[in-house]
Structure 1
């Protein structure tokens, strides 16, 4: 009975946290990080300010939101909200671009397509993504993007590399390097005027390098 009671309380607590993160996610996408307050999150989630703060400060909550979005992007369940021009529109002050480079093989295309949803999400929510990169530097502990989410994506990358004849050890190493390249591109993007095309080009360059078949040492 005691165990059932503890599990029930734990389940309710998790549902409340999920509701708080869901409410925060909607507000961040709609209003941006700076304009969203803890009080607004509490109101939207129908909980007290103290209950929101028990989940974490705004930095922690933003990182938790990105963990959720990235997880949804990885498993194909992310549904984009209505786009908001003031925070999401890119390239309105620049001329036409020639577009990003194209992969030269089916495997390169597949690998690039694994990363494109994340790059496009960051492009769509550029200001919020910059706030996320800054928040990750301030938050203690490791976000899911460095743990379960990283393992899942690296596993898929490794399988694709093995399929073109790269041995398993090299494939795992290259998958980890590709994932690190992706994270590096996101942080560089957050700190510079890098465009989506620039990010895709940088990601593809890393993919091209790591899809070269290596002989065994």
Structure 2
């Protein structure tokens, strides 16, 4: 009886936390990180400010929102809302796609043409949903990368979400004849490179086309079939 009561309270707490994260996610997407307050999240979730703060500060909640979005992107259940505004290039006022000379789904760019093999194309396609999300919500993504540096926690993007995507990458690499050990190591390196590119994109004037090209270059290196020693 006691264990059932404890389980009920645990389930209730998880449901409340999920409602808070959902409310925060909607507010972040609609108003941005800086304009969203903990009080606004509490009001939208119909809970107290203290209950929201029990999850963490605003940065921690943003990281939790990105964990949810990334998880939905990986399992194909994410439905994108309309972006707050048209994504602009960092260099000026043109739309990012027009300024970059390469659509995010493209395999070449005007500045650095690099055709991709079918396997390279497939590997890039595994990353495209995340790049597209970051491009559609660029300001929010910058705030997310900054929060990742500040928040001393263990986000899902470094745990189960990482393991899932690395598993898919490893399977693709072994399919072209790369040994399992090399494929596993390359999958981890690809994932770490992808995260590094996202951080560099958020912190510099790197364009979407340049980020895509940088990721393709790493993919091209790791898709070279390695002969066993």
Q: Return structure 1 stretches of 4+ with deviation > 2 angstroms.
A: 94-98, 100-104
1:90 equivalenced with 2:93 (yes/no): no
User: Partner of 1:49 in structure 2?
Assistant: 49
CA–CA distance in structure 2, aligned partners of residues 215 and 41 of structure 1? 54
> TM-score, normalization: structure 2?
0.91
Aligned mates of 1:158, 1:133 — CA distance in 2: 26
- 2:153 aligned residue: 141
SS of the residue corresponding to residue 33 of structure 1 reads coil
Mapping 1:1-217, distance limit 5 Å: 1-85=1-85, 89-91=87-89, 93-94=93-94, 96-99=99-102, 101-102=107-108, 103-217=115-229
**Structure 2: gaps of 5 or more residues:** 109-114
Q: Could you state the TM-score of these two structures normalised by the residue count of structure 1?
A: 0.96
CA contact (8 A) 2:100 2:208 kept: no
How far off its partner does 1:34 sit?
0.4
Q: 1: distance between equivalents of 2:128 and 2:213?
A: 11
Aligned-residue offset at 1:142: 1.5
**Which 5+ residue runs of structure 1 have no aligned equivalent?**
none
CA distance in 1, matches of 2:175, 2:182: 12
* CA distance in 2 between partners of 1:27 and 1:196 (Å): 25
- Greater CA deviation, 98-107 or 28-37? 98-107
* CA deviation map 1:140-165 (0-9, x unaligned): 12211000000000000000000000
Give the corresponding residue for 2:112: none
**Which structure: greater helix fraction?**
1
Q: Distance in 2 between matches of 1:203 and 1:73?
A: 18
**Residues of 1 paired with 2:144 and 2:99: CA distance?**
29
Q: What RMSD, in angstroms, separates the aligned Cα atoms of the two structures?
A: 1.2
Distance 1:61 1:184 in 2: 22
Task: Report the alpha carbon displacement of residue 104 of structure 1 after superposing the two structures with TM.
Answer: 2.2
